[in-house]
Amino acid sequence: MATEMDELIEQLKTTSVSNGNTKNLLCEISATKDPKLFDKHELADCFLGLTQCEDTIVRKEAAKCIAEITKSEVQRKKFTKREIIAGFLECLKQVPTPDGSMELPIQICRALGNICYLNDEARDLILELEGDAVLLKLLDISTIEDVANAAQFIKVRGGLLSNYLLGGEGLAKRAMELGVMKKLQAIIDTGASNVEQHEDLLLNTLPLLSILTENVADLNFDSALNIQLSRILAASTNPDLAEMCLELLHYQAESDEVKLLLAKDGLCETIYNLLEKYKTLASTSEARALMKLACELIVLILTGDESMHYLYTTPLLKNMVDWLDSTDIDLLTTGVLALGNFARTDSHCIYFVEQQTMNKLLEVLSKNNGVKDDVRLQHALLSALRNLVIPKPNKNAVIQAGLVQTILPMLEIHQPPVVFKLLGTLRMTVDGQEKLALELLKNKTLIEQLVHWSKSSDYAGVTGESLRLMAWLIKHAYLSKIAYALPRKGDAPAEQIADKIPLTQDYDRSSLSEFLANEGTVEAMVSMLTAQHLVMQNEALIALCILSVVYLSQKNEAGLEQAQRLQEELIKCEVGKKLAELISKSSDSMTKEIVENLQNCVNLLKSSEQLVTHLEENNINELLKSIPILTEYCTL
């Protein structure tokens, strides 16, 4: 084959252009299936002459050969010549040709498109020759007399412009300056008027929008164009066209304004109806990927506040609830994610509990709370339930429905995103729920896992949530019982706090005792003092205040033993050092509340002689005086 091609090329080089044999040779050369056969030859100069020939058929066949030859990277570089590119651009300026034929323009588009492929040098030459304006002018051709070649011209026009614009941000911005968006919108308007008839036109135009979107920062389409894309999606039965529309709408729907526009235009309902229609056909990986893309767009639109509130009043809400019964994992997950987004206001959350949507979510979770179940679905379910449990009127109902019993088995799951949501959901659930907090403090499996995650997770969110949940359990189980022991504004000086703690307290300490019996719990609360976030530092201080009131105040024999253990544990965990670090690191940003809790904590610790010495060794008294907010009070 190589020898045969070598002979053909040699004949072409030695044959006069006027010789009728030239056309036959060009036809034979362009028929080759292996572009690499050309790599060793120097053909650019030979073909330059042929492209300048007066015989249109020879020029067409020469361009066709160049299109085949430049499928090879080696020849693309060799044909990157100013004269060749300038000649092609000159020809394209004449399109449509006087006789209306598209055969020559088609082959020139193919040849120039292949030369441009992954070839910045060729793209730069086109730009220097102001050829980008010539290429973009091809988009103005709306009526093609050469009906037989119309579809092929539309295809190669799109390919040429795609290969050129893929050159990056500079070329895309220049195209924007030349009005490319107006031209593309006109074509898409035509396509949208009859999607079935203009399918090829759309398939070869929408990729240009994608390229511009990727290369022009913050490219926002006109509202009319977004609506047209939505309409094309609704009307098309072509999966490739649907995918292009979905991807473009994904880009645009990052804007809350576009989310609302698409919501009001009924896009989510359109997608719902399409998915219901085609869900049983999603058997291939390509079809499944398209289905997921459509589902994700519904969820994305619901992340906007205005669009979410609007869609809450539409049939989409019921549609998403219905999907909770779906056996398709993607539709089920989308329904859960959608409801989680609807559950961003207290009124919606309360409605979901009243309508027992919450029970349906719990039912789904109870069937999907194992180690081997779908992580994305678990994450979505926990997110939705976390939102539902935030409003105070919902807490008892959700707890009674079995939320805690359903999610505790998930402690065996160690996927960080799921763990993070699991802990956040539990934390929101115990807020103000003393009875539940007391029960969970006794849950050895839970507490041991929290201590483990607080030390060993590589995921900062899991570490933080583990610590916060422990602090919240202590706070919501015992704060109401010991609040009277903490000084308030206008009370006696903080130094006298130890004298204010009653000697006898008639509440059950067993939950807290069982919590402290787990190794590492005190260490966890002490380490939390130097957390990155002020809110966590404050929560640690409250937890330590509660521990100090409950145990360091005890005078009976059993109580003294527990107090001694706590003192030893606090000293072992270097609570003084951690408090010193807290003050040094955060004193400038401390709020009044944190400073008061810090003072309370230090003075409660001072009710133990051992801890007084320990705090003095870490210079806590002097450090407290350096806190700016306290200095300001003194100055005033």
For residues 235-250, give the mean pLDDT: 96
Range 165-173, long-range pairs (CB < 8 A, 24+ positions)? 165/208, 165/211, 165/212, 165/215, 166/118, 166/211, 167/116, 167/120, 167/123, 168/215, 169/215, 169/216, 169/217, 171/123, 171/127, 171/132, 171/215, 172/211, 172/212, 172/215, 172/216, 173/215, 173/216
pLDDT at 225: 97
Torsion of CA 401, 404, 408, 414, to 10 degrees: 100
Secondary structure of 465-518 as H, E, C letters: HHHHHHHHHHHHHHHHHHHHHCCCCCCCCHHHHHHHCCCCCCCCCHHHHHHHCC
Q: Considering only residues 446 and 588, tell me which one the structure prediction assigns the higher pLDDT.
A: 446
Query: What are the DSSP E strand ranges found in 238-373?
Result: none
Q: Of 5, 4, 83, whose CA–CA distance to 44 is shortest?
A: 83
Q: Which of 6-10, 102-106, 323-327, 511-515 has the weakest average pLDDT?
A: 6-10
Pairwise CA distance, residues 122 & 100, whole Å: 28
The band of 427, judged by pLDDT with boundaries at 50, 70 and 90, is very high
Q: Which two tokens stand for residue 404?
A: 């805690």
For 203, 204, 243, 429, 620, the CA distances from 240, given in Å and listed in that order, are 8, 11, 5, 45, 68
Torsion of CA 601, 604, 605, 607, to 10 degrees: 170
pLDDT in tens, 521-550: 999 999 999 999 999 999 999 999 999 999
Is 355 in contact with 391 (CB distance < 8 Å)?
no
The band of 491, judged by pLDDT with boundaries at 50, 70 and 90, is very low
* Residue 238: φ, ψ to 5°: -90, 120
Pairwise CA distance, residues 569 & 88, whole Å: 83
Judge whether residue 487 has pLDDT over 70.
no
Q: Which two tokens stand for residue 263?
A: 């919501």
Round the CA-based radius of gyration of the chain to a whole number and report it. 36
For 97, 134, 139, 174, the CA distances from 92, given in Å and listed in that order, are 9, 7, 12, 19
Pairwise CA distance, residues 29 & 379, whole Å: 59
pLDDT at 440: 98
Chain length of the chain: 636
H or E stretch at 102: none
Judge whether residue 202 has pLDDT over 90.
yes
Pairwise CA distance, residues 86 & 88, whole Å: 5
Q: Which two tokens stand for residue 63?
A: 């361009």
Is 75 in contact with 117 (CB distance < 8 Å)?
no
For 293, 353, 428, the CA distances from 383, given in Å and listed in that order, are 21, 15, 11
The band of 17, judged by pLDDT with boundaries at 50, 70 and 90, is low
pLDDT in tens, 568-610: 999 999 999 999 999 999 888 899 999 999 999 999 999 889 9
Is 434 in contact with 480 (CB distance < 8 Å)?
yes
The band of 498, judged by pLDDT with boundaries at 50, 70 and 90, is very low
Domains of the chain: residue spans and CATH: 1-167 (1.25.10.10), 184-342 (1.25.10.10), 480-635 (no CATH)
pLDDT in tens, 369-394: 999 999 999 999 999 999 999 999 99
Pairwise CA distance, residues 3 & 352, whole Å: 77
Is 176 in contact with 130 (CB distance < 8 Å)?
no
For 65, 108, 288, the CA distances from 87, given in Å and listed in that order, are 15, 10, 46
Residue matched to tokens 């990927």: 289
